[in-house]
Amino acid sequence: MKQIIDNFSKEYAFLSNFYPSEVEFDGVIYPTVEHAFQAAKTLNPTEREMVLLAKTPGQAKRVGRTVTLIDDWDDIKFSVMYDLVRQKFNNIVELKNKLIATGTEILVEGNTWGDTYWGICRGIGENKLGEILMRVRIKLK
């Protein structure tokens, strides 16, 4: 029977987009996937800079809620996230090995803040981040 990892903290904190791991988006290096993802939401250079300069991934997420969204964001957000997560695990050998070490476990971005697109909250959600992590894991093996 497959195990489920549904809490991206403690020993599994590395699965979180908040985990320190430099990734590149549009020629700029961001300190976390979260920073890069939030910056990707806008074409406005000032807003991107505000996201980049956010001291924590949580602050980057809050800034990202205020940016001017690009027109087709809902259409491209999955592929943007996939690329950033892929970079994270391709670029950092230690993280790549940790992801591979999760074996065949089902990865679920369990949360309590109501994110039912990227994760699952109170049993409801699409778990798109978990899906991306499992896809990347397969490619890395």
Task: Using the predicted structure, report yes or no on whether residue 30 has a pLDDT greater than 90.
Answer: yes
85-98 per-position pLDDT tens digit? 999 999 999 999 99
Please state the domain extents for the chain. 4-140
pTM: 0.96
Q: Report the alpha-carbon distance of residue 15 to residue 44 in Å, rounded.
A: 29
In this structure, the number of other CB atoms found within 10 A of the CB of residue 103 comes to: 10
In the numeric block, the tokens 């809490």 are attached to: 7
Residues 6 or more apart whose Cβ sits within 8 Å of residue 21: 14, 32, 33, 88, 91, 92, 95
Task: Using the predicted structure, report yes or no on whether residue 33 has a pLDDT greater than 80.
Answer: yes
**Topology of the domain covering 4-140:** Tetracycline Repressor; domain 2 (1.10.357)
Task: Using the predicted structure, report yes or no on whether residue 1 has a pLDDT greater than 70.
Answer: no
Q: Report the alpha-carbon distance of residue 46 to residue 55 in Å, rounded.
A: 16
Task: Using the predicted structure, report yes or no on whether residue 2 has a pLDDT greater than 80.
Answer: no
Residues pairing with 110 in the sheet: 120
